[in-house]
Amino acid sequence: MQELQELFQNFLPVISDNRLIQASLIFLVCVLLASLARFVIYRIQIHGTKRTNNPVDDHILEVLKRPLRLSIIIIGLRLALGHSQLFSAQLDMFESILWTAVIFSWLGFTVNISHFVLKYLSRSKSKVKIVQKHTLPLFDNLAAIVLYALGLYFILIAWDINISAWIASAGILGLALSFAAKDTLANLFAGVLILADSPYKLGDFIVLETGERGEVTHIGIRSTRILTRSDVEITIPNAIMGNTKITNETAGPHKKYRIRIKIACAYGEDIDKVRDTLLKAASQAKGVEGLPASRVRFRTFGEYGLNFELLCWVAEPVLRGRVSDELNELVYKLFIQEKIEIPFPKQDVYVKSLPK
């Protein structure tokens, strides 16, 4: 600011020796510069942003006009007041008021931009997976808190207020709160990591290490909710979800899910006939996918018969129970139709001699 004032003092005496006229010229030049800056941004907005499909640069240029123009005018007013020497005793107070107005102007600009960028990231298919529609309020509020805290810090500096004691008190208070809310903070950080790592997403079918299985209906900052096939909602804290083994049945190259139908036939049955019958059951089932193709595996020689397994694919994990029921019914009926014996546990008792 001092260098700008000295720069004007080198040229203004050529125009007039009156300090009020010189101060008025300083203010007028800054107003013209503010109008010029507004015009330049307007031209860039018309010709430059048309080359990009990103709405962020359009919005930045649109909201940049007001704080930039106001800042240049306030700088001109400060230079004019200092050069006129009319309010020398109150100049420091006027300067603090003017800088406070500048800080408020740029604070509104940064809060507006942060809100727009976060909203754009939550709607676009960007690589920032952590910013989603349901996490937008969290990050929006966090950004606003940080920006308002910075704004307050610069305002205190503008008024020449010592903030060292305040910062120390805030640090002690933050430490006390962190100990008091350690479980909440653990869930919060785990929720952020889950959103960033994306081990599961809304609509996925997951199986927990404890055996619960269901559809993910909500991923929050504090907890995750899954809806079981019994229409029972289970809420699990994110700190637990971040430290447990999770099987995601929907993840992978596609959403298809493979079901297994275990069946046995008696010793002595035709293996090829059993295979054909099982594949016939798969082809008649309505919920079985054609690709990948169904297959039959001869697993083991069991204690009572030959153990087979029919492997089929369904479109999504939610169909597992219904299609398994349909396949079990078809296999049973076709085995009866083809006269394939289904073994069951039995025990033969041989009597060597009868008592007298």
29 with 131, same domain?
yes
| pLDDT for the residue numbered 269 | 92
Q: What are phi and psi of 137, to 5 degrees?
A: -60, -35
| Percentage of residues in the chain having pLDDT higher than 90 | 34
124 with 198, same domain?
no
240 with 293, same domain?
no
Q: Which two tokens stand for residue 207?
A: 């199986």
Give a yes or no: residue 344 inside a domain: no
Q: Calculate mean pLDDT across residues 80-105.
A: 85
Give a yes or no: residue 187 inside a domain: no
47 with 150, same domain?
yes
| pLDDT for the residue numbered 270 | 93
Tell me how far CA of residue 279 lies from CA of 255, 276, 311, 328, 334, in angstroms: 23, 5, 9, 12, 11
Alpha carbon distance 100, 105 (integer Å): 9
Q: How buried is 185 (Cβ within 10 angstroms: 0-12 exposed, 13-18 middle, 19+ buried)?
A: middle
148 with 262, same domain?
no
27 with 164, same domain?
yes
| pLDDT for the residue numbered 116 | 92
179 Cβ contact partners less than 8 Å away, ≥ 6 residues apart: none
Give a yes or no: residue 21 inside a domain: yes
Query: Angle at CA 126, nearest 5°, toward 246 and 252?
Result: 35
Give a yes or no: residue 156 inside a domain: yes
134 with 27, same domain?
yes
82 with 30, same domain?
yes
| pLDDT 10s digits, 217-264 | 988 778 899 998 888 999 999 888 888 899 998 877 778 889 999 999
What domain range is 296 assigned to? 257-337
Of 113, 146, 175, the residue that ends a domain is 175
| pLDDT 10s digits, 14-53 | 556 677 777 888 888 889 999 999 888 888 887 766 667 7
- In which order are the strands placed within the sheet that holds 213-219? 233-237, 223-228, 213-219, 205-208, 246-248
Q: Calculate mean pLDDT across residues 63-74.
A: 92
232 with 297, same domain?
no
Q: Calculate mean pLDDT across residues 138-150.
A: 85
Alpha carbon distance 219, 236 (integer Å): 10
Of 130, 148, 175, the residue that ends a domain is 175
**Domains held by the chain: number:** 3
27 with 158, same domain?
yes
Alpha carbon distance 319, 322 (integer Å): 6
Query: Which band of pLDDT confidence, cut at 50, 70 and 90, is reported for residue 332?
Result: very high
Q: Is the dihedral of CA 173, 176, 179, 184 positive or negative?
A: negative
Spatial contact of 118 and 166, defined as CB atoms under 8 Å apart:
no
Q: Is the dihedral of CA 46, 47, 51, 56 positive or negative?
A: negative
HSE, side-chain direction, 13 A CA sphere, residue 129: 13
Give a yes or no: residue 182 inside a domain: no
| pLDDT 10s digits, 154-196 | 998 888 887 776 676 667 766 666 666 677 778 877 887 787 7
Q: How buried is 89 (Cβ within 10 angstroms: 0-12 exposed, 13-18 middle, 19+ buried)?
A: exposed
78 with 30, same domain?
yes
| pLDDT for the residue numbered 126 | 61
Query: Which band of pLDDT confidence, cut at 50, 70 and 90, is reported for residue 295?
Result: very high
Give a yes or no: residue 343 inside a domain: no
CATH of the domain at 217: 2.30.30.60
Query: Angle at CA 232, nearest 5°, toward 229 and 237?
Result: 110
| pLDDT for the residue numbered 17 | 66
Give a yes or no: residue 33 inside a domain: yes
Give a yes or no: residue 231 inside a domain: yes
Q: For residue 264, how many other CB atoms are within 10 A of its CB?
A: 21
Of 175, 207, 234, the residue that ends a domain is 175
Alpha carbon distance 15, 76 (integer Å): 18
| pLDDT for the residue numbered 23 | 80
Q: Which of the listed ranges 200-204, 250-254, 345-349 does the model predict with the highest average pLDDT?
A: 200-204
239 with 264, same domain?
no
CATH of the domain at 327: 3.30.70.100
Q: Which residue has the tokens 């962190």?
A: 178
